Amino acid sequence: MKNSFSRLLLLLITLWPLAPSWPADKISIAVYPIKAVGAVDQSITANLTALLGYELAQSPKLLVVKEDMLKVLMGRQAASKSDLCDSIFCQVEIGKLVQKMVVGELLILGPRYILTLSLVDVRTGNVDFSDKVECRCPEDQVDQLAAIAGNRIREHFGESGLPVERLTRKSVSLPRGSKPSGWEFAYVTSPENAEAMRRLDQIFQDVSIDAAAEQSALDQGKLYSTRIENAKPDKYYASEIIEAPSAVVWQVLSEVEKYEKFMPGSLSISILENAPDKAVIQIVSNIRTVTTELYFDYPSPKMFWKELEDSMSAGINSGVSRVFKVEPLNDHRTKLIMLQEGGRFLSLESSRNEMEDLLKAFKKRAEAMPK
């Protein structure tokens, strides 16, 4: 595809002076038919091409040349028999219509579909942007790749706060709480939830621990915990080795509907919201009722825990934020890290006890899960 398309680009650049002036507020763009590589069926790439064009057409900044118009210009025989737009007429007409061209290939490696994309400036031939999107998903869910790729291309053109809520539910190829075999799958979160994750991720800033002391404790099979000195607000760190694969540990963290079975000190847990990238739960214990927002960052993988500060009972209003981070050590052992910020109405001992109880509960649950 590279040789044929480079020849096309050379002619388009040569013919660029023939192009009309573009609307100042629009960039004209087209999706060159995505190439099927190896065992990938061409019907899948044809669908992806159409869907990616649809996703880009939702942008207020882009003027998308429809696929059927592009095919007419290319000639149907060119689209079906080669990657080259052979006729001079075809090349001249595309040069008149398009400023940017999206070219891509879809291949399959084992259980993974991988879509590689480049955004080419037709005038200069330069690649402005390139990306790779992949998913572990059945054939009938490959369409999610177009949604994710379209979103990233639009972000390249400066769009933010994209309306991707409709993508969120369909773009996670493995449901939260399932047992994934790895982290290499496509995932999209909403801009609002992504911003919340970024804010909570700040907890990791300025965190320094005694690595030798931690390793010594973990080598002895102990849970390690410490207070981060000079941190404002207060920060606490804890870690533990779990004798279970990282995928199982992540399953235990993200399967919020089963928290009630093992969460320490809870009398009941109600799920108020349950989406792939976020859950809201209400935890009732014998001393307080607290509403907690949970955010799930699959690629990292991390879970962010934010207690809402208007949750009060028995005079306690902790406003705790936590981050749980999964670090695979090998196929059978995982390090689970927990970092906590806040808890201003809790004593140091109470905060440490809460953290250790939570880690122990997750460890016990994960090690009891079928491997």
CATH number, domain at 119? Answer: 3.40.50.10070
Q: Are residues 43 and 145 in the same domain?
A: yes
Q: Are residues 158 and 200 in the same domain?
A: no
Q: Are residues 219 and 347 in the same domain?
A: yes
Is position 8 within any domain?
Answer: yes
Is position 180 within any domain?
Answer: no
Joined tokens for residue 94: 């595309």
Q: Are residues 72 and 158 in the same domain?
A: yes
Is position 126 within any domain?
Answer: yes
In 3D, which of 149, 158, 133 has the Cα closest to residue 62?
158
Q: Are residues 340 and 273 in the same domain?
A: yes
Is position 68 within any domain?
Answer: yes
Task: Give the pTM.
Answer: 0.53
Q: Are residues 304 and 348 in the same domain?
A: yes
Give the pLDDT score at 98.
Answer: 78
Q: Are residues 146 and 235 in the same domain?
A: no
Supply the CATH number for residue 255's domain: 3.30.530.20
- Name the CA dihedral angle for 152, 157, 159, 163, rounded to a multiple of 10 degrees: -40
Q: Are residues 146 and 285 in the same domain?
A: no
Q: Are residues 230 and 319 in the same domain?
A: yes
- Under a CB-based contact definition with an 8 Å cutoff, are residues 4 and 11 in contact? no
State how far the Cα of 27 lies from the Cα of 63, in Å rounded to an integer: 6
State how far the Cα of 209 lies from the Cα of 221, in Å rounded to an integer: 18
- Under a CB-based contact definition with an 8 Å cutoff, are residues 129 and 145 in contact? no
Report which residue type is found at 159: E
Cα dihedral sign for 127, 133, 134, 139? negative
Q: Are residues 218 and 363 in the same domain?
A: yes
Is position 350 within any domain?
Answer: yes
| Phi-psi label, residue 151: left if phi above 0, alpha if psi -120 to 50, beta otherwise | alpha
pLDDT in tens, the chain (371 residues): 445 555 555 544 444 444 444 556 788 888 888 998 888 888 888 888 888 988 888 888 888 877 666 665 555 434 443 444 544 344 445 555 678 889 899 988 877 788 999 998 877 778 888 888 877 667 777 777 888 888 888 888 887 544 433 333 333 334 454 444 443 344 556 778 888 888 898 888 878 889 999 999 999 999 999 988 777 778 889 999 999 998 899 889 988 888 988 988 888 889 898 877 889 998 887 777 888 999 988 777 899 999 886 544 444 445 789 999 999 898 899 999 999 987 544 555 666 788 889 999 999 999 998 76
C-alpha distances out from residue 184 to 7, 133, 172, 175, 199, Å: 35, 10, 11, 14, 24
What is the length of the chain? 371
Is position 227 within any domain?
Answer: yes
Q: Are residues 118 and 267 in the same domain?
A: no
Fill in the DSSP letter of residue 251: H
State how far the Cα of 31 lies from the Cα of 83, in Å rounded to an integer: 13
Domain tally for the chain? 2
Residue 260 domain boundaries: 196-368
Give the pLDDT score at 14.
Answer: 46
C-alpha distances out from residue 26 to 40, 60, 106, 174, 347, Å: 34, 8, 28, 37, 58
Is position 175 within any domain?
Answer: no
Q: Are residues 32 and 142 in the same domain?
A: yes
3-state secondary structure of 15: coil
Is position 302 within any domain?
Answer: yes
Backbone angles phi, psi at 101, to 5 degrees: -130, 135
- Under a CB-based contact definition with an 8 Å cutoff, are residues 25 and 108 in contact? no
In 3D, which of 134, 133, 245 has the Cα closest to residue 181?
245
